[in-house]
Amino acid sequence: MPLVRVELKKRPDPTFAKRVGAQIYAAMRSTINVPEHDNFQILAEHDGEHFVFDTQYLGIQRSDQLVIIQITLNEGRTLEQKKALYQTIARNLNTHLSIRLEDVFINLVEVKKENWSFGNGIAQYAS
């Protein structure tokens, strides 16, 4: 059950953020075995004053088209799966939405399964 947060600068196209989310979901399905319908996303657009980042950290030249993606998910994916996820998200966003590879920032937050409640006040994944 990943929870995806996408933060980006407001674009003229009102569908842009949702299309970013669709590419992330497709990448998660193909690389880390996220099941169909397991799609929960918070898509937030910001004005330039409220979207702050370093344009050169680690020698990566970022533009104001940066997309910051944070995915909270159950722990247990391998390093290879995580690398494949990063590459697939970046490639999908570049290919389908013309987002530069340098402008794709991804952070994974891994949690134990008992840290989720999908509704009804129940920890559905707790053993």
pTM: 0.93
The per-residue pLDDT for range 49-78, each reduced to its tens digit, is 999 999 999 999 999 999 999 999 999 999
| Tens of pLDDT, residues 115-124 | 888 898 888 8
What integer is the mean pLDDT of 44-49? 94
pLDDT of residue 3: 97
Long-range (24+ apart) CB contacts under 8 A made by 58-62 are: 60/102, 61/102, 62/102, 62/103, 62/105
Q: Above 80 in pLDDT, residue 127?
A: no
Model confidence at 82, pLDDT cuts 50, 70, 90, reads very high
β strands within the chain, DSSP E: 3-9, 40-46, 67-74, 104-111
Give domain limits for the chain: 3-115
* pLDDT value at residue 118: 85
Task: Please state, rounded to an integer, the average pLDDT across all residues of the chain.
Answer: 95
Residue type, 82: K
Annotated catalytic sites, by residue? 2
Contact 101, 61 (CB under 8 A): no
Provide the CATH number for the domain formed by 3-115 in this structure: 3.30.429.10
Instruction: Give residue 112's identity as a one-letter amino acid code.
Output: K
